[in-house]
């Protein structure tokens, strides 16, 4: 689809994600080491290299950055920020280690706590999702190379459309963790007389499934951090899909004092 015009910062985020994808795949195709961080989550050379690349693109913007792999900045400083980047260089490190391809590069721009721009890149399949929430536009592009130009990305982009209503409900479940609360939620849906099917995906691809019409609802009743969800929320919000906190019954907010998200539900409004 040609004729798409995008925000300068969205262009930068797309370029950063593609370059990060390239270095991630260089590590993916080698015998890499796995470190365990203080929070018990895994870390590979790909996380670090991708983070360095993304920082080189985002730092000149000069919007401050919250990244899983950057040193976290104290809230006394962060609370002054009206706008910030929220980045996960490799979302789904567990999937990366398993080599199942279901990991992504997540880059979002947040304004006053709300995602405005989002990019999710899937390096293994070279699939790119990007969105501008203000314009209510979200796209998917299938690339042939990590070195694709922005002009080519836009030329090949297809606008995302959510699923039409039907008798069956496709519920997005996690490959790595399906909590008891999620299982209970599925049983409640079944009790309402709907036919329920579970669709599994790793990382932020769960948001993409709903935004592109391949699922209806994503209950997340397990811990996530802001960098796990900001880009996915931007892509969903741009096509009229809500990401609602189970604590506040309002959309998830970002650059909070505690970067841990509450439980949430992703579904069409």
* Global pTM exceeds 0.75: yes
* Both tokens assigned to 264: 């949430």
The CA-based angle 177-178-183, given to 5 degrees, is 175
* Both tokens assigned to 26: 């260089």
Residue linked to tokens 């080599």 = 99
Taking only the tens of pLDDT, the chain with its 269 residues reads: 457 889 999 999 999 999 999 999 999 999 999 999 888 888 999 999 999 999 999 999 999 999 999 999 999 999 999 999 999 999 999 899 999 999 999 999 999 999 999 999 999 999 999 999 999 999 999 999 999 999 999 999 999 999 988 888 999 986 556 788 988 998 999 998 889 998 988 889 999 999 999 999 999 998 999 999 999 999 999 999 999 999 999 999 999 999 999 999 999 87
Domains identified in the chain and CATH numbers: 8-159 (3.30.540.10), 168-268 (3.40.190.80)
CA atoms of 56 and 116, how far apart (whole Å) = 21
CA atoms of 22 and 20, how far apart (whole Å) = 5
Number of other CB atoms surrounding residue 25 within 10 Å: 15
The CA distances from residue 44 to 26, 31, 66, 69, in Å, are 12, 11, 19, 11
């Amino acid at each position: 689809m040609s004729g798409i015009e995008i925000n300068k910062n969205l262009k930068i985020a797309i370029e950063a994600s593609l370059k990060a994808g390239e270095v991630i795949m260089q590590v993916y195709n080698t015998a890499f080491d796995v470190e365990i961080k203080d929070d018990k989550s895994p870390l590979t050379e790909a996380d670090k290299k991708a983070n360095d690349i993304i920082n080189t693109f985002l730092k000149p913007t000069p919007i401050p950055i919250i990244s899983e792999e950057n040193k976290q900045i104290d809230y006394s400083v962060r609370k002054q920020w009206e706008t910030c980047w929220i980045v996960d260089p490799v979302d789904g490190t567990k999937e990366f280690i398993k080599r199942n391809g279901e990991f992504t590069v997540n880059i979002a721009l947040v304004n006053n706590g709300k995602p405005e721009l989002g990019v999710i890149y899937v390096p293994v399949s070279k699939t790119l999702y990007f969105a501008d929430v203000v314009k209510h536009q979200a796209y998917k592009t299938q690339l042939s190379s990590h070195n694709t130009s922005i002009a080519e990305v836009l030329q090949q982009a297809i606008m995302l459309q959510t699923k039409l209503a039907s008798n069956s409900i496709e519920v997005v479940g996690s490959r790595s963790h399906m909590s008891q609360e999620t299982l209970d939620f599925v049983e409640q849906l079944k009790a309402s007389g709907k036919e329920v099917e579970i669709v599994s995906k790793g990382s932020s691809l769960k948001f993409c499934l709903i935004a592109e019409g391949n699922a209806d609802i994503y209950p997340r009743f397990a811990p996530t951090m802001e960098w796990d969800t900001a880009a996915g929320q931007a892509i969903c919000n741009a096509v009229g899909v809500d990401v609602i906190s189970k604590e506040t019954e309002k959309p998830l907010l970002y650059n909070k004092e505690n970067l841990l998200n509450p439980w949430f539900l992703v579904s069409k409004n």
